[in-house]
Amino acid sequence: MKTLILAAGKGSRAHGLTKNLPKSLFPLNYEKESTLSLLLNNLVENKLNDVIIVGGYEIDKLRSELSKISPKSCNIVIADANPNYQKGPIYSFLTAAAELIHEELFLLLPADAIFSSSIFKYIQDHEFSKDKCHLFYYKSNAYPSSGSQCVFCDFSNELSDVEKIVSLEIWKEKYEEVNKFYPIMIPAIILPYSFFEFAKNLLGSGVKNVISAVNSFCALEKKSFAHQLNFNSNNWVFHDFDTPDDLKKIQRLIQK
């Protein structure tokens, strides 16, 4: 299975920190590891070696840095989303359609997050139904430090149909009191190639991000599965890099 990494955005909330450097390339420690370099190494460790990276903002810096940080066994193709990436993430995503035309399924990831290796090991060790969208989530008993979406499904089964995706705020307001947990969606999504056409058809409706398109796919196509992943509560699962405060948390995590 090939992996599609979205790395085209400017990262406005962290722009004061990262300045003219793509957020996913910002050095996190003295070893100058970045979220993207950590992600690529994590993928290769789990034999997910074929990667398409969508670049846009400061794409020449992305190309230059990838030549330094890419593991030798990682096969990388860069898709250029200029200038359309400025219209929204969905446009960056659609740029990669030509690179995945022969793939039945592919893994979609953001470039500005770090992940537990357990997630990719699960993906590598399992077979996934074709022509389906596969979402992954874990149950958190406390309000999470990272993540903004919750998966609504049958929580009694490890694998169930997805009903919808709701924001963390809506879950807290409407569902948390009854369920007593947060079903945090992990930003690692397995999608069928047909999703590109589905997403393209949504452009006229004002959809600008991929999660909104995935939510529509779940609701309209009825072809989405939710995988409940059980992680040791003492371990972190993933962490987004959106703000300077996120940077401090990520730095603590990778030092452990």
User: What distance in Å separates the CA atoms of residue 23 and residue 36, rounded to the nearest whole number?
Assistant: 9
User: What distance in Å separates the CA atoms of residue 253 and residue 256, rounded to the nearest whole number?
Assistant: 6
pLDDT tens, position by position, 26-77: 888 877 899 999 999 999 999 999 999 999 999 999 999 999 999 999 999 9
Residue 242 has pLDDT above 90, yes or no: no
Q: What is the pLDDT of residue 137?
A: 97
Question: CB of 131 within 8 A of CB of 161?
Answer: no
pLDDT tens, position by position, 130-183: 999 999 999 999 899 899 999 999 999 999 999 999 999 999 999 999 999 999
Concatenated DSSP letters of 123-183:
HHHS---TT-EEEEEEEESS--SS--EEEEE-TTSSEEEEEEEEEHHHHHHHTHHHH-SEE
**Domain annotation for the chain: domains and CATH numbers:** 2-255 (3.90.550.10)
Rounded to whole angstroms, what are the CA distances from 24 to 32, 37, 160, 219? 12, 8, 33, 31
- Would you place residue 256 in the very low, low, confident or very high pLDDT band (cuts 50, 70, 90)? low
Q: What is the pLDDT of residue 253?
A: 87
Identify whether 144 is preceded by a cis peptide bond (ω within 30 of 0).
Answer: no
Question: CB of 240 within 8 A of CB of 185?
Answer: no
Angle at 225 between CA 220 and CA 231, to 5 degrees: 140
Q: Which residues contact 236 (CB under 8 A, 6 or more apart)?
A: 116, 253
pLDDT tens, position by position, 9-29: 876 555 556 577 888 998 888
Phi, psi values for residue 232, rounded to 5°: -60, 130
Q: Which residues contact 206 (CB under 8 A, 6 or more apart)?
A: none
**pLDDT-above-70 percentage for the chain:** 95
Q: Which residues contact 249 (CB under 8 A, 6 or more apart)?
A: 145, 146, 239
Residue 86: name the closest of 162, 10, 175 by CA: 10
pLDDT tens, position by position, 179-238: 999 999 999 999 999 999 999 999 989 898 999 999 999 999 999 999 999 876 556 899
The average pLDDT across 94-108 equals 96
Q: Please, what is the average pLDDT of the chain? A: 92
